[in-house]
Structure 1
Amino acid sequence: MMKILIGILILTGSITLFLFYNQKQLPTEEDVFNMTDKWSLRTEEVYFVREIDGDWLTMFRNSHSITVARLEQNWLGNWKVRDEEGYESTLISTSYPPREEDEITWASSGSNGKSLSYYFGQILNPMIYRIEVETKKNVFEDALIFSPQGLRFFFIKSDEDMFLPVNIRAFSEAGELIYSTVK
Structure 2
Amino acid sequence: MNRTEKEEVINQLHELMAKAKAAILAEPKGLDVATVTGLRKKFRDAKIDYKIVKNTLAQRAAKGTPVEPLVEKFVGPTALIMSYDDVVSPAKILVDFAKDRENFAIRTAVVEGQVIDVNGVKALAKMPGLQELRGTIAMMIAQPATKLARMIGTPGQQLAQVLNARKDQLGKA
Shared fold, TM over 0.5: no
Higher strand share: 1
| TM bracket, shorter-chain basis | under 0.3
More relative contact order, 1 or 2 (CA 8 Å, 6+ apart):
2
**With structure 1 as the length reference, what TM-score do the two structures score?**
0.26
**With structure 2 as the length reference, what TM-score do the two structures score?**
0.27
Larger Rg: 2
